[in-house]
Amino acid sequence: MEELLSVIALVISVISGLFATYTFFWTARRDRQQATLEAYNQLQEQALDHLNYYMPAAIKEIAQNPRSEEYKKISSYVARIEHFCVGVNQKIYDKKTVYELAQDYLDGAIKDRIEPIIEKKNRHTNEDYYENIHKVYKWMAEQKAKEEGKGK
């Protein structure tokens, strides 16, 4: 009888341990998704919304004058986007959530607006100062290709 009780207690302990592990990982994933939403909303307010006021052609013109106030303002928006992309690449933020929020926007309309500034800043160096943005663009293109291959 004692052996049976020991076996039952062991089974209950294992089930409890598995449930606790599952709950931990589920909660961690959910928290990461929530943090991603909050960070993206902040990025939207601090940079993306502001960039939407500029047409890509206007930004190309602004990129010709790195000393102008507009250039500095747009550069700060690009820096915020880079900061967010560091979080994406370091897996601080949930990539699936980022993709759902930003596909065809961050790698489309926003890319068209910020690339002239990035090109200007990287022009005289062998280093890509906005490597994280470019990694996110590449990853998003790969995701899109996978989805199109599956017939989404």
Encode pLDDT of 19-42 as tens digits: 888 888 888 889 999 999 999 999
Please state at what angle helix 69-89 crosses helix 2-43, rounded to 10 degrees.
170
Q: How far apart are the first and last CA of the chain?
A: 57
CA–CA distance, 54 with 135 (Å, rounded to integer): 24
Encode pLDDT of 108-139 as tens digits: 999 999 999 999 999 888 889 999 999 999 99
> Residue 125: which region, alpha, beta or left (left: phi > 0; alpha: psi -120 to 50)?
beta
What pTM value is reported for the model?
0.84
Encode pLDDT of 68-86 as tens digits: 999 999 999 999 999 999 9
Around Cβ 16, how many Cβ atoms within 10 Å?
10
Q: What's the DSSP call for residue 110?
A: I
Per-residue pLDDT at 152 = 54
